Structure formats: C-alpha cells, structure tokens
Amino acid sequence: MKIVVVDGHTLNPGDLSWAGFEALGECVIYPRSEPQQVVERCQQADVVLTNKVVFSDEVMSQLPKLKYLGVLATGYNVVDLAAAHRHCVAVTNIPAYGTHSVAQFVFAQLLQWAQPVAHYADSVRRQQWSQCPDFCYYDHSMVELANKTLGIIGYGSIGRKVAQIASAFEMQVLVHTRTPPADRLPGVKLVDLSTLARESDVISLHCPLTQSNAGMIDSAFLKAMKSTAYLINTGRGPLVDEDALYRALCDKQIAGAALDVLNQEPPPADHPLLALEACTVTPHIAWATVEARSRLMGIAVDNLSAFLMGHKANRLDDLN
C-alpha cells in the first residue's frame, strides 16, 4: 500500500515522527505540493493525506487507485465530499485535537486586548519608563474581563472550552449556534445572532465554514456591534467579510480585531488589514502547539488503521 502526504510540513516541520504511517505502508512525504503537481504525485497512491491541498472531482477522477483521503485538520472544505462518494473514496478528518490549544490562543489574544503586555514591554525597551516622572504610566487603555460579555458563535468543543475559560474569568457568556446543545455550562445564554452582536464586548468565532455562513461577519453585523467591542477569529477566514471589517476598523465602528485566519493564506503583502494598528493578524497558528500537532498525528494514524481493519472512524464520506 502506498501512502502519500501532499503537504506535511505544517503538521510536522521536523519535531514529530511519521513512524505511525510508515508502519502501515510505503510512505512518500512531500512538505508542499502545488496544484499542478498533485495528480502526478498521487497517481499510484492508495492513501493520500492532505491538510490544505484541494481534492476536487477533477483531481479524484484522475486517481483510479485512491481508496482513502485523510484530511489532516478538522475543517474539510478542501475535499469535494459528493465527488469522493461517487469515486468510492473514504474521507476522514481530525475532530477535537486542538480544543485546548485554540481556546488558549483565544485568551492570549483577548488578554493582549485587555492588558496589552507586548505594547508596554516594547515601550519599556524604548526607555519610556526610564524617562517617566511617575512610578508608572499607561498610554493605552486597559480593562477587566470580569463582567464583560463574551459572544461565542459556534458551540462545538472549542466554543465550549472558550465558554468554560470565560466563566473562570467571571465573564458573561452569550452563545449563538446552529444546533442547540443538549446541555450547556451554567450561566451560558443562547441568543440570536443580532442579540449577540449588539450585547457582546468581545465576539469569538468557532463555527465551521459552510456555504450559508460565508461572510456572516458583514457590514450589517459590524455596525450592530458596540464601538468598544473586539472581534476574534480563530475559525475560518471566509467567515469574515474582510472589506467590511477594514472599513469598520478605519471608521472606528469597533475597537479592534484579532485574526488568526484570513480569506487568502498566506495573504498578499499589500493586504489592507496587515497595516492597521487596530488589527492583530497571526499566521494561522492557534492549532499549532506541539501537543496539538502530536495529538493530530496520532488520530490520523488511528483513522487510517481503523479503515484498513474495516472499521469507521471520523468518516466524512457518509455525509453525502
């Protein structure tokens, strides 16, 4: 059995091991693959593993040996599931591997907004404290999280973990979710989207990207937010209308945004949001702690092992 990893570098830049897959078959690991290289590289593959390389109907139709397509991520919009079903290709993903890491990253961003440690550390390095006539200074407003309202869009494992941490900070938590949960943390209030936009001091996005919610954070949503509110997106870039966000930040309709994901990744050097002081952009790293990547690798091996034994684990092709 031949296993091809088409874009393995982001999962394993060298600090993890592919041994689990190597024990299951002949492995070829490509750090990256351009679209025009995919068919040739996967031509003889029984199993393909992808993170962000797209597998469309056109691509899969040229891979007659392909039996299994493992997505090395939770989001699976890179695979045409209907086409996979037609081509009898099993598809899996990796749910819940990064719950703690992504939730932790949300609060790294949130705490940086509430009390901007990096800003003050930089100012001290510029000798601003040494030249100050007082024992302290604050040229950037700071706020307590206690009693602030956090709005969470999407209440899967990450959304729940963010709500749990917010509760420990004594924040009020509002949730908007497509599927009402069977249970929720004490104090968590389910609301419609307009209420969440209007009442939240901070909004954090944790819903999957679908055709119906692409661009859901649009100009109307941003206008409904408080002028002091902050937006955090560690979900999927296309959830946010970036042109509308740029205008809202320039016009100070909201206080700021922290984006770990963008519509185009990597972004062009002249992307307008990169130049805004009110917008913190990080390179899609909320998921990338060594613990989360190691967990992802283990689940990916388990998914393939289950398939080879005739069992189903984290299968997506049954969705169509």
Domain covering 99-281: architecture: 3-Layer(aba) Sandwich (3.40)
Give pTM, 2 decimals. Answer: 0.92
**CB 262, CB 242: distance < 8 Å:** yes
pLDDT of residue 78: 94
Among residues 87, 236, 293, 295, the one annotated as catalytic is 236
CA distance 268 to 254: 24
Among residues 86, 271, 284, 315, the one annotated as catalytic is 284
Q: Which of 99, 63, 103, 98 is nearest to 79 (CA)?
A: 63
**CB 250, CB 272: distance < 8 Å:** no
* Residue 236 annotated among the catalytic residues of the structure: yes
C-alpha dist (Å) from residue 233 to 10, 70, 253 = 20, 25, 17
Helix (H) or strand (E) holding 101: helix 99-114
Q: What is the dihedral of CA 58, 60, 65, 67, to 10 degrees?
A: -160
The residue type of 72 is L
The packing angle between helices 157-168 and 99-114, to 10°, is 40
Among residues 40, 58, 170, 265, the one annotated as catalytic is 265
How many other CB atoms are there within 10 angstroms of residue 7's CB atom? 20
pLDDT of residue 290: 98
pLDDT of residue 235: 95
pLDDT of residue 319: 59
* Residue 265 annotated among the catalytic residues of the structure: yes
The residue type of 316 is L
* Superfamily in which the 2-97+290-319 domain is placed by CATH: NAD(P)-binding Rossmann-like Domain (3.40.50.720)
- How does pLDDT run across 163-182, given as a tens digit for each residue? 999 999 999 999 999 988 88
Residues of the chain with CATH 3.40.50.720: 2-97+290-319, 99-281
Instruction: Kindly state the DSSP code that residue 268 receives in the 8-state scheme.
Output: P
- How does pLDDT run across 128-172, given as a tens digit for each residue? 999 999 999 999 889 999 999 999 999 999 999 999 999 999 999
Give pLDDT < 70 ranges for the chain: 319-320
Question: What is the DSSP secondary-structure string of the chain?
Answer: -EEEESS-TTT-SSSS--HHHHTTSEEEE-S---GGGHHHHHTT-SEEEESS--B-HHHHTT-TT--EEEESSS--TTB-HHHHHHTT-EEE--TTTTHHHHHHHHHHHHHHHHS-HHHHHHHHHTTTTTT-SSS---SS-----TT-EEEEE--SHHHHHHHHHHHHTT-EEEEE-SS--S---TTEEE--HHHHHHH-SEEEE-PPP-TTTTT-B-HHHHHHS-TT-EEEE-S-GGGB-HHHHHHHHHTTSSSEEEES--SSSSPPTT-GGGG-TTEEE--S-TT--HHHHHHHHHHHHHHHHHHHTT--SSB-GGG-
